Amino acid sequence: MTTQHLLEVTDLSVRFGGLVAVDAVSATLAAGELVGIIGPNGAGKTTFFNAVSGVIAPSAGRIVVNGDELTGRAPHHFAAHGIARTFQTPRVFADMRVIDNVRFGTQFAGRHRSAPAGLATEQEILAMLGLEALATQRAGDITPSQQRLLEIGLALGTRPRVLLLDEVAAGLTEAEVDAMARRIRRLRDEWQLSVIWIEHAVSTLLRYVERVMVLHQGRKIADGTPSEVVRNAEVIEAYLGDEMVTEAGP
């Protein structure tokens, strides 16, 4: 008997005119997995996210979420099937209170779906993210790093099964990056979320994920454990360099 994955992507391609941004990429995500995606700028990482969240329609391939084909469907269909995402530039409602941002997520897509284990209220989401003391502040008045956390909170409000995180550590200090990674791991561990995380903070990502996909020029060139990927000759040549092999350890 084959295992049904929460997310199955088969031969996904996205073309913009003559440019192939994503080139026949296949990927799966099982329940409870924490997967990283790395690759150089222009590798197609965000375009891949855009396709698997319904922001753009793929040029070819299939996207199946929890057994239902959603290829080419609008974003609200993906949200209704439990796919939530963040963006490279945080998208929060600056004039709304912090807690009302999370409440918007609940009202948008989460009201008809049962909460993941331990995830019941806006206050509990803010507490998990360390934002409970800011609940009544205007979202536009909190720091950029707090806005990144709040955008995750808005996504969590939709009661997702799968959380797609697009460079949530960008612009953070080294200590903030590590704290963000620990928080992402807790979201997976305590609330049984499945997470795909795009990140340029490669060394941090490799310490926290169990599996890594590497994209280069739109193609998937590796998919394996962090220790396997950092020793992949094609990955070293395309992206990591020899120093990452040493840093990753045995």
CATH of domain 1-72+199-250: 3.40.50.300
DSSP-derived secondary structure for 58-117: -SEEEEEETTEE-TT--HHHHHHTTEEE--SS----TTSBHHHHHHHHIIIIITTSPPPT
Give this prediction's pTM. Answer: 0.88
Mean pLDDT (whole number) for 49-77? 94
Mean pLDDT (whole number) for 203-207? 90
Kindly report the average pLDDT of the chain as a whole number.
87
Kindly state the tokens that stand for 231: 């020793």
Note every long-range contact of 242-247, with CB atoms under 8 Å and residues 24 or more positions apart, other chains counting: 244/202, 244/203, 247/203
Q: Mind listing the pLDDT tens digit for each residue in 67-109?
A: 999 999 999 899 889 999 998 888 899 999 999 999 988 876 5
* % of the chain with per-residue pLDDT over 70: 89
Mean pLDDT (whole number) for 47-73? 94
Q: How confident is the model at residue 236 (pLDDT cuts 50, 70, 90)?
A: confident
Domain locations along the chain:
1-72+199-250
Q: What is the pLDDT of residue 109?
A: 56
